Structure formats: C-alpha cells, structure tokens
Structure 1
Amino acid sequence: MRKSLRLKGVAAAAVAIAFGLCLAAGCAPAGGASDGALADTGDLAAAYPVHGSNAEDGAGLAGYHAALGQDCASCHQGNLADQLAAAGIEGEPDCSSTFYNDTATCLSSDCHVSWDALAERTADLGDYNPHDSIHGTIEDCNECHKGHAEQVDICGQCHPNGGQEMTV
C-alpha cells in the first residue's frame, strides 16, 4: 500500500514538473497556437494594448475565453501583424473592427470541434437553435460572436428567438 502511494506521489510530482517546464517554455494552453513570436500572450497584448485591456474587462468573447485560461494566441493564430497588413489595416484596429478570426479556429478539435457538435451542444434551444437553423448554417461564427465587441443576435433581428438571449 505504501509503495503504491509513493508511486502515485512520484507520478504527480513528475506531472507537475512537466507542466511547469511547459509553462516556462511558453507553451500556450489547450487550443492555443504555438506559431512563432506572436504566439506569446504578452507579445500580442503588448502589440495591441486596447484589445489586451478589452480581454481583461471589456465586451466580447475575449474576456470569457481568458477566464477559461485561454490567451490571445488561442484565437489569433499565425502572425497577426501580417494578417492585418494583408487586410489593409494599419496599426491596432478598433475593437468593433470587422477584422476577425477564421471560423476554422473556433471549430478546431481543441475548442468547439465541429458545427454539428456545436449544434448538438445547443440542442436544448429547440426550434430556436441558431446553430441548427432551418435557414441553413451561417458560415462565419463572427457574424454573431465578436471577440472584442458586443455580440450580435442576427436571428433576433427577425425572430423572437423564443425569448433566448446571447450569453457569450
């Protein structure tokens, strides 16, 4: 019995050490990117201070995801400066900017998995499930869900939505 407890303690210590080494090396949390210099939360938050501040206490999903342990690079994968430049955006865009993430990032295996999985997760909304609409699938998560701005209830613009409200 003592040998079993000692082995469990050694295993727990090894996991803790491995986790600490991963954090020290700058690994992103689950779902995070590991793409070059801009994969570090500090770099993105420093480069885009208005968005970094918004992720702490502003509108949008950034704060929600940050509370779950995600960092900027979890959603903004790749070289954000190059992506903004390619979109013709100079400097830090406004938080309500139309520049957004790729839906594939939202539907990655580490996050919301697939459109079908998301529709199943919100199945309790019944006929008012925005992820399983009779109108078809909205191809872009950012149509409704905003990272750094108020969410947009597109369905609610025409339908009462059964009284549901967007929570995140």
Structure 2
Amino acid sequence: MNRILQNVALVAGCLFFAASASAAAPTLKPHHQSIKDCAVCHTAENAVAGNAFVVPSDKACMSCHGSYKDLAKKTANLGEPNPHASHHYGEGISCTACHKEHQPSKVYCNECHNFKYQIK
C-alpha cells in the first residue's frame, strides 16, 4: 500500500510540475518562441535525480547554437571584448551564466566589468 501511495504522489507531482512548465512557456525569449516542447532543452541526459527540469547543459544550447568557437565568430564585431572568447574562461563558462530562458538574462562579465552588451 505504501508503494502505491508513493507512486500516486509521484504521478501527482509530475502532473503539477508539467502544468507549471507549460504555464512557463510564455516566458520563453522571443527567439525561442518556436520551441513548443520543453524536452528540446530539458532532456533526460540533463536530469538530476530523475528531474529533467534543471538548468540544461551546454550541450543542449550548442545543439542549436553551435560551439563556443562558432558563437565567437558570430559575436566578433561587438565592439568590446567578445563574451564568447573570454580570456578569463575560454570555453569553460556555462551558457546559462549569462543566458537565462525563464528569467532576465545578465552579462556575467559585468560582475567585475561594465560592458554594454545587448544580451539576448
């Protein structure tokens, strides 16, 4: 009986979380509005303790946006140091240090500097 209650609680929790996740869909950034399935970014591979709704790994970002080197080429003309070719972090900083999907993004470099990047 205890096992049944655990399973019922797990299913109820998943349904509640799925409803919350679908409610969060409108908070997607404009350039991601075409993504209709949370599992595009929130994959089983990224899951922590079975929860796929954790911060996606860089692999999820790079599957669409390319490598840091590709991104560095795309942002080479920003007029300031290139955030995708950081001399501090190289390719070692997570995409989500700056780019947030369901909340405002921030320029992590501005923790110490004062760059005027227009972040997406």
Relative contact order higher in (CA < 8 Å, ≥ 6 apart): 1
Choose which of 35, 38, 41 in structure 2 pairs with 1:70: 35
Structure 2 residue aligned with 1:41: none
Determine the structure 1 residue equivalent to 2:57: 102
In structure 2, the partner of 1:139 is: 93
Residue 16 of structure 1 corresponds to none
Q: Deviations over 1:31-82 (max 9, x none)?
A: xxxxxxxxxxxxx9974333322221x3xxx343542x223122112277xx
Identity %: 30
Listed one character per residue, the Cα deviations across residues 79-128 of structure 1 (whole Å, up to 9, x for unaligned) are 77xx24x17x7xxx7xxxxx3001011112xx112110011111111432
When the two chains are superposed, the root-mean-square deviation of aligned CA atoms in Å is 3.0
What displacement does 1:159 show? 1.1
Q: CA, structure 1 residues 121+45, in 2 after alignment: closer, same or farther (shift >3 Å)?
A: farther
Report the TM-score, using the length of structure 2 for normalisation. Answer: 0.69
Question: Counterparts of 2:15 and 2:72 in 1: how far apart (Å)?
Answer: 32
Alpha-carbon separation, structure 1, partners of 2:111 and 2:45? 35
What is the letter of the counterpart of residue 154 of structure 1?
Y
Pick the structure with greater CA Rg.
1
Aligned length: 105
Task: Give unpaired runs (5+ residues) of structure 2.
Answer: 1-13
Q: Which whole-Å CA distance do the structure 2 matches of 1:146 and 1:54 have between them?
A: 13
In 1, the alpha carbon distance for the partners of 2:39 and 2:15 equals 10
- 1:119 counterpart = 2:84: no
CA drift at 1:136: 2.8
1:164 and 2:108 matched: no
CA distance in 1, matches of 2:69, 2:79: 14
Letter of the aligned partner of 2:19 in structure 1? P
Q: 5+ unaligned residues in a row in structure 1: which ranges?
A: 1-43, 94-98
